[in-house]
Structure 1
């Protein structure tokens, strides 16, 4: 039989084990409580993070600028007309980042005078916005950044003039592209489907043709006879409107729309230029007037490779090479 001393000792040992187990259980419970508190303090941040992730997934993706550009590109866009010279800084989507500045076109005007006048016009834009590229629209035939004809500027002495490079040297060597002004306006107006034709009504009559968003080789219809040996320029240009009056001029433009529809079989006709605001007759359903600011806004899409591929004007834009 066990002695009384051993029995007492065993009781003490058992009691110590019970106490130790209770202490251990309390520690475990305390850790669980602490863990729950920590989780509770973290939960709002986790929820917020989850909500932010969900909102990012549901939010529409920001529109990307035209191919070859990035969101920080700023384009100095210049619209050269027979009456006025306009310029502004735009982003890669054609959105205006500056006010549009304007001066009258000098007449008569040599290439050097034109380059000097444009450099003076854009100087404040350069100082304030620091553009990274330059786009130019010119009222005549343009190939490889060179002017071939300038009927509303003073044609003599303009053939083969590298006006784009002349201006680039005056404004810090910006990368530059130059096309016909109606074509640059069309780049901002077109929807990119089927055959789209652009007619600009300004000092002269500018034209441009696009197929599925790509610019086609330039057709200088402005100098093609359309009525009694009168060219488009002479028939519906600015001087024709002044001499014939608004009523007769409107009849002529309406006739020309019918001529172009039969000639081109376009899906959509876009009419721009300063005199488009003087049209008074009802336009056909597939004909629309575009903002005069499109002549500048199209400068962004001029840097999109597909927009100029078919013209073969810019070798670096030819995707077929």
Structure 2
């Protein structure tokens, strides 16, 4: 059993981060603060939808028993539209075609409401400042991206599967398999090159780098590039249930921010 930390918030969100190598979950409050410790288990391979749901239910049950949740947020590594999964390249696209994952989780987790977005987008919701053009790059099993303008999420682009060098996609060029094959030194040169390419493409004001392999970066980052905590993939789940943009909620009066009232 996992003990809760701190006082119960008015809103308790079960935040789930689905990764190609690991599944993570914690209960957070309306500001993304951890109310429990973060639990993690390896991602099954192969990982069809039914097995993913079974594994997630087993993972989160110890969190929900002492501290019931009010909502569920999920970050998923693929294209998500209207709470349905359209692609899952690191889990097996053949099994993940138009899968109603939110509905499946609702049915297995006490009929709680579920919202799902791309995992890089959920991480970005915890990191961005809500000003200008902000890009998120996650370095994990693959390479995820998310784009925000003045705190608003822009349409999702699957840059991870776009060719970038010698017919290699971003995933194949700077994903974890590429790092293990090329070695950290060469992989770092590739990431540095990708940062330049992305700036030339988008002229972002800020680039946020997350994911487990962000810890392997060893070169000096440009002034407008910052590494974010790996826990952002969980913490961003709170923003899926706020009716206002990130920019608006962060400019609310301090009293509203304390109470968690965002309407």
Tell me the distance in 1 between the aligned counterparts of 2:9 and 2:141. Answer: 35
1:303 matched to 2:241: yes
What's the CA shift for 1:294?
0.1
Contact 1:108-1:153 at 8 Å conserved across structures: yes
State the match for 2:212 in structure 1: 274
Tell me the distance in 2 between the aligned counterparts of 1:302 and 1:284. Answer: 30
1:230 matched to 2:168: yes
State the match for 1:152 in structure 2: 90
Tell me the distance in 2 between the aligned counterparts of 1:266 and 1:71. Answer: 35
1:101 matched to 2:39: yes
State the match for 2:224 in structure 1: 286
State the match for 1:249 in structure 2: 187
The structure carrying a bigger strand percent of its residues is: 2
1:127 matched to 2:65: yes
Tell me the distance in 1 between the aligned counterparts of 2:174 and 2:244. Answer: 32
The structure carrying a bigger helix percent of its residues is: 1
What's the CA shift for 1:87?
0.1
Unpaired runs of 5+ residues, structure 1, are 1-69, 309-321
Tell me the distance in 2 between the aligned counterparts of 1:216 and 1:169. Answer: 30
State the match for 1:81 in structure 2: 19
What's the CA shift for 1:306?
3.8
Secondary structure at the aligned position of 1:207 is classed as strand
TM-score normalised by length of structure 2: 0.89
TM-score normalised by length of structure 1: 0.73
Tell me the distance in 2 between the aligned counterparts of 1:173 and 1:215. Answer: 27
Moved over 4 A (4+): none
Tell me the distance in 2 between the aligned counterparts of 1:158 and 1:207. Answer: 20
Unpaired runs of 5+ residues, structure 2, are 1-7, 247-263
What's the CA shift for 1:155?
1.2
Aligned partner of 2:157 among 204, 209, 219: 219
Count of equivalent residues: 239
State the match for 1:4 in structure 2: none
State the match for 2:131 in structure 1: 193
Contact 1:149-1:155 at 8 Å conserved across structures: yes
State the match for 2:255 in structure 1: none
Tell me the distance in 1 between the aligned counterparts of 2:27 and 2:225. Answer: 29
**Higher RCO (C-alpha under 8 Å, 6+ residues apart):** 2
State the match for 2:56 in structure 1: 118
Tell me the distance in 2 between the aligned counterparts of 1:140 and 1:306. Answer: 25
What's the CA shift for 1:305?
2.5
Contact 1:214-1:306 at 8 Å conserved across structures: no
Q: Rg: which structure is higher?
A: 1
What's the CA shift for 1:168?
1.4
Deviation per CA, 1:34-60: give whole Å up to 9, x if none: xxxxxxxxxxxxxxxxxxxxxxxxxxx
